[in-house]
Amino acid sequence: MRPIRIVPEYTLLLRYDVRPETQEVYFRYILGEFAPALQERRIYLQDAWHVLYGDYPERQVEFITDDIENLRNLLKSEEWSKLEQRLIEFTTNYTRRITRYNGKIKI
């Protein structure tokens, strides 16, 4: 498989706490369904952070893309609605936002 090469311009930033009783099924969902579904849309997992300090949600996941219209179309789709609703079942304090990519962690 050839490496994927893009020049990232936008970040889809998801922040949340994982409900303790859903840890195992959450990991299977993120790695087995959620991230692959976004990758099929050319939105790629860049980083996943476990935040241990400060008043922030414990998990921060960053997806990158070079196509804002593609990202906007995804966020308006029924597919995204289902993906996001399933993720929310495993989490609390869930937020999402789109930012310009700058290569730095966004806290």
The domains found in the chain, sorted by start residue, are 10-58+65-100 (3.30.70)
The helix/strand/coil state of 77 is coil
**Pair 46, 60: CB distance under 8 Å:** no
DSSP letter at 32? I
pLDDT digits (tens, 9 = 90+) for 40-58: 999 999 999 888 777 778 8
For residue 25, CA distances in Å to 3, 43, 75, 102 come to 29, 22, 23, 32
The mean pLDDT value of the chain amounts to 91
Predicted TM-score (pTM) of the model is: 0.88
Give pLDDT, residue 52: 74
